[in-house]
């Protein structure tokens, strides 16, 4: 995601603590996007760091096929308690993309092994599920993957249920299901927020209706909570707001509090059972070398402990309230559109003739923010804030103020060019 021919030198970071990154000469940068949406409690949280240090002295890595270990067992126990009881099984991997790949394989295998093979995957227009080939296939087609399009499997994309356009999305899905519902294996979606598409938000009611249609036609719902999971949208998982439980749920990023790479694909008993046969050919054939890595598991256990022992939900609620207040200020500006918030996520668009990921505004704004020692990484002409939960009100005020000044800067530049 870095065009080296155009970008300046990378910023060298030496250490991190809480909401801050520290570079050379003790330069302090406020991490307003949680280092690509992974850090939840704050950088280098001592309880997670200590758990990983303790684990490092005991067991570093062991094959996780036919073998098991304490951190994985403890994590599984805790994760099953942290998520809905219908999600009874978990498959560990090492990133969001691998969690999605495993989910797609589970969905396809489920239908085949239960005697009704289905081939079609349905997804949301604008969706992003990672950069491996299965994940790219499920994701939106665009500048990110245009080059690889001939190699991607065909996916049907439903129109994005933008506010006011939900009925269209549901109708397209209904029509598809009526026509070829018995060939649709799964609907994969990012619940409530399309992150990489510029933090586009849709309603819990629509998510619920999509879920209900899936149930009616025996289509598995894969909720990709890689970004939304672990509190980003205000609740532990975005699906909770729609009162639904997906058949398969993908987790990563916040699973270890962002400390170490890890992915998890959770599924219902029915899906597990489809592979649980005295027939080797029906094994769930998927492996990643570092699946169930003990250090990652220890970090994830410590993360879940923090949810039990620290006021994580209170911090999330405080950020949610602060964003809601800031929303009012930004909505009053005539030079922005689509000011939106959900939980700890705040986003707005700056109308621009070159909207989309390649908008020329993105790099200009990115440089502006870094000059002010705030890490914000616009997606095209959309700017979003997604801070770690340890962020203080003073930190948030600094982020809003920097965003406000960047809008003034863009407005004044535009006026100068027009003059
Ligand atoms: C919703 C979603 N799914 C999957 C991924 C891919 O995760 P990873 O980059 O860990 O492979 C991302 C990454 O941003 C994501 O936002």
Q: Relative to the CA of 130, which ligand 1 atom is closest?
A: 6
Instruction: Examine the domain organization and report whether 280 and 325 are in the same domain.
Output: no
Strand order in the sheet with 374-375: 13-17, 20-23, 28-31, 374-375
| Residue 402: closest CA among 8, 26, 24, 30 | 30
Decide if 39 is inside a domain. no
Distance 203 CA to ligand 1 centre (A): 21
Residue with the smallest CA separation from ligand 1 atom 7 is 96
pLDDT at 355 (0 to 100): 62
Instruction: Examine the domain organization and report whether 23 and 64 are in the same domain.
Output: no
Last residue of a domain, one of 258, 289, 309: 309
Q: Relative to the CA of 135, which ligand 1 atom is closest?
A: 4
189 touches ligand 1 (CB under 6 Å)? no
pLDDT tens for each residue of 323-369:
999 999 999 999 999 999 999 999 999 988 666 777 789 999 999 99
Last residue of a domain, one of 287, 309, 331: 309
pLDDT tens for each residue of 236-287:
999 999 999 999 999 999 999 999 999 999 999 999 999 999 999 999 999 9
Instruction: Examine the domain organization and report whether 334 and 257 are in the same domain.
Output: no
pLDDT at 209 (0 to 100): 98
Handedness of CA 269, 274, 279, 280 (dihedral sign): negative
229 touches ligand 1 (CB under 6 Å)? no
Instruction: Examine the domain organization and report whether 203 and 110 are in the same domain.
Output: yes
- Tell me the two tokens of residue 336: 């922005």
Instruction: Examine the domain organization and report whether 337 and 387 are in the same domain.
Output: yes
Question: What's 397's domain CATH number?
Answer: 3.90.1150.10
Decide if 1 is inside a domain. no
Instruction: Examine the domain organization and report whether 239 and 225 are in the same domain.
Output: yes
Instruction: Examine the domain organization and report whether 350 and 232 are in the same domain.
Output: no
Beta bridge partners of 203: none
195 touches ligand 1 (CB under 6 Å)? yes
Three-state DSSP class for 236?
Answer: coil
97 touches ligand 1 (CB under 6 Å)? yes
Decide if 106 is inside a domain. yes
140 touches ligand 1 (CB under 6 Å)? no
* 72 neighbors 294 (Cβ within 8 angstroms): yes
Total count of domains within the chain: 2
Supply the range of the domain harboring residue 176: 47-309
pLDDT at 211 (0 to 100): 98
Decide if 3 is inside a domain. no
Q: Can you list the positions of beta strands (E) in 143-233?
A: 155-158, 184-189, 193-194, 200-201, 220-224
93 touches ligand 1 (CB under 6 Å)? no
227 touches ligand 1 (CB under 6 Å)? yes
CB-based burial label for 49 (10 Å; 0-12, 13-18, 19+): middle
> pTM above the 0.85 mark?
yes
pLDDT at 265 (0 to 100): 98
* 100 neighbors 226 (Cβ within 8 angstroms): yes
* 243 neighbors 210 (Cβ within 8 angstroms): no
> What is the rounded CA–CA span in Å between residue 286 and residue 283?
9
Distance 37 CA to ligand 1 centre (A): 9
Instruction: Examine the domain organization and report whether 223 and 350 are in the same domain.
Output: no
Decide if 6 is inside a domain. no
pLDDT at 6 (0 to 100): 87
* 362 neighbors 7 (Cβ within 8 angstroms): no
pLDDT tens for each residue of 43-58:
999 999 999 999 999 9
Instruction: Examine the domain organization and report whether 191 and 84 are in the same domain.
Output: yes
> What is the rounded CA–CA span in Å between residue 207 and residue 214?
11
Decide if 366 is inside a domain. yes
pLDDT at 359 (0 to 100): 77
Element (H, E) at 135: helix 133-138
> What is the rounded CA–CA span in Å between residue 101 and residue 94?
11
100 touches ligand 1 (CB under 6 Å)? yes
Q: Relative to the CA of 37, which ligand 1 atom is closest?
A: 14
Q: Relative to the CA of 98, which ligand 1 atom is closest?
A: 11
Question: What's 296's domain CATH number?
Answer: 3.40.640.10
Last residue of a domain, one of 309, 344, 364: 309
Instruction: Examine the domain organization and report whether 173 and 25 are in the same domain.
Output: no
Distance 84 CA to ligand 1 centre (A): 22
For the chain, 419 residues long, the average pLDDT of each consecutive 10-residue run is: 88 98 96 98 98 98 98 98 98 98 98 97 98 98 93 97 97 98 97 98 98 98 98 98 98 98 98 97 95 98 98 98 98 97 97 74 94 96 97 98 97 79
Residue with the smallest CA separation from ligand 1 atom 13 is 130
Decide if 399 is inside a domain. yes
> What is the rounded CA–CA span in Å between residue 64 and residue 332?
54
Decide if 5 is inside a domain. no
Distance 99 CA to ligand 1 centre (A): 9
Instruction: Examine the domain organization and report whether 362 and 327 are in the same domain.
Output: yes
> In whole angstroms, how far apart are CA 375 and each of 20, 179, 316, 364?
9, 47, 20, 13
Instruction: Examine the domain organization and report whether 117 and 206 are in the same domain.
Output: yes
């Amino acid at each position: 995601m870095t065009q080296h021919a155009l970008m300046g030198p990378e910023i060298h970071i030496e250490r991190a603590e809480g909401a801050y990154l520290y570079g050379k000469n003790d330069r302090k940068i406020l991490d307003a996007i949680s280092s690509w949406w992974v850090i939840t409690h704050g950088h280098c949280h001592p309880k997670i760091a200590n758990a990983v240090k303790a684990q490092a002295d005991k067991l570093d890595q062991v094959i996780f096929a036919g073998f098991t270990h304490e951190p994985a067992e403890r994590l599984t126990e805790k994760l099953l308690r942290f998520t809905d009881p219908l999600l009874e099984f978990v498959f560990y991997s090492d990133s969001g993309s691998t969690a999605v790949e495993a989910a797609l394989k589970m969905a396809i295998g489920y239908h085949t092994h239960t005697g009704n093979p289905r081939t079609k995957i349905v997804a949301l227009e604008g969706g992003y599920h990672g950069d491996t080939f299965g994940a790219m296939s499920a994701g939106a087609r665009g500048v990110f993957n245009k080059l690889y399009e001939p190699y991607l499997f065909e996916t049907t994309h439903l129109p994005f249920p933008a506010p006011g356009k939900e009925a269209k999305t549901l109708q397209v899905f209904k029509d598809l299901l009526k026509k070829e519902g018995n060939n649709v294996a799964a609907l994969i979606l990012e619940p409530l927020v399309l992150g990489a598409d510029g933090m586009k938000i849709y309603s819990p009611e629509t998510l619920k209706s999509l879920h209900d249609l899936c149930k009616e036609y025996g289509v598995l719902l894969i909720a990709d909570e890689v970004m939304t999971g672990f509190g980003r949208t205000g609740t532990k998982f975005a699906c909770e707001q729609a009162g639904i439980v997906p058949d398969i749920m993908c987790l990563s990023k916040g699973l270890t509090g962002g400390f170490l790479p890890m992915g998890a694909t959770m599924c219902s008993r029915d899906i597990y059972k489809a592979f649980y046969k005295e027939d080797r050919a029906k094994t769930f054939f998927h492996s990643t070398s570092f699946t169930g890595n003990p250090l990652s598991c220890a970090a994830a256990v410590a993360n879940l402990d923090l949810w039990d022992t620290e006021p994580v939900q209170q911090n999330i609620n405080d950020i949610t309230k602060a964003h809601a207040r800031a929303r009012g200020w930004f909505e009053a500006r005539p030079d922005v559109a689509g000011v939106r918030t959900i939980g700890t996520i705040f986003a707005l668009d700056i109308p621009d003739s070159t909207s989309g990921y390649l908008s020329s505004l993105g790099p200009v704004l990115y440089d502006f923010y870094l000059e002010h020692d705030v890490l914000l990484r616009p997606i095209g002409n959309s700017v979003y804030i997604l801070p770690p939960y340890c962020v203080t009100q003073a930190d948030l005020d600094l982020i809003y103020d920097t965003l406000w000044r960047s809008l003034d800067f863009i407005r004044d530049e535009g006026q100068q060019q027009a003059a």
